[in-house]
Structure 1
């Protein structure tokens, strides 16, 4: 299906170049595999990689001054976003609005792997527990 959502002649390049950076080391240990700040690539988002094999494990409750989008790459997760509880599996995406406390955990069995997109050129976070 062909898409034509906008007229390409109505938008001009802003001078930024294509860029590449390493997000994570495939051999690294621990749940936080790495991050790529948007500032490094003149991009408006920061990307993090998180993974754990341990059910019940996940990031602590925290909050950001910007939105966050989670892409579940492998496994099953339970997200706590404000008063919402959202279960998600590989292939699904979860949205966390700015200034709403959130956390997630591996539901198991097996590995949970996520790509976390921070809608900011740098990672800004306050842990709440």
Structure 2
């Protein structure tokens, strides 16, 4: 099915060039594989790569002044977003609204891999525990 969600004649390029940057070193260790700030690419979002092989492990409770979108690439996770508990697996997406404390853990079995999109040109976070 062909899509036509908007008229291309109504949108003008803003002059920014296409950009490329490293997200992570594929040979590296540790759960935080890397991140690329949107401001480095001239874009409005920052992208993080996270993964771990240990059920029960995950980032500490924290909060951002902007939304965060989590894409589960592999494995299963339990997200704690405010008072909500959401389980998500590979191919699913979870939203952490701005100002709402959140964290997630690997619920196994195996590796949890996520791509975390921070809806800001740079990563801003306050840890709460």
Please classify the TM superposition score into its range, dividing by the shorter chain length: over 0.9
| 1:85-124 deviation per Cα after TM superposition (whole angstroms, max 9, x unaligned) | 0000000000010000000000011000000000000000
Aligned match of 1:46: 46
Where in structure 1 are there 5+ consecutive unaligned residues? none
Q: Distance in 2 between matches of 1:92 and 1:122?
A: 24
- Offset at residue 71 of structure 1 (A): 0.3
| 1:23-63 deviation per Cα after TM superposition (whole angstroms, max 9, x unaligned) | 01111110000000000000000000000000000000000
CA RMSD of aligned residues (A): 0.3
> Matched residue pairs, number?
129
**1:102-117 matched pairs, under 5 angstroms:** 102-117=102-117
Aligned match of 2:82: 82
Where in structure 2 are there 5+ consecutive unaligned residues? none
- Segments of 4+ moved more than 6 angstroms: none
Aligned match of 1:35: 35
Given the two structures, how large is their TM-score scaled by the length of structure 1? 0.99
- Offset at residue 66 of structure 1 (A): 0.1
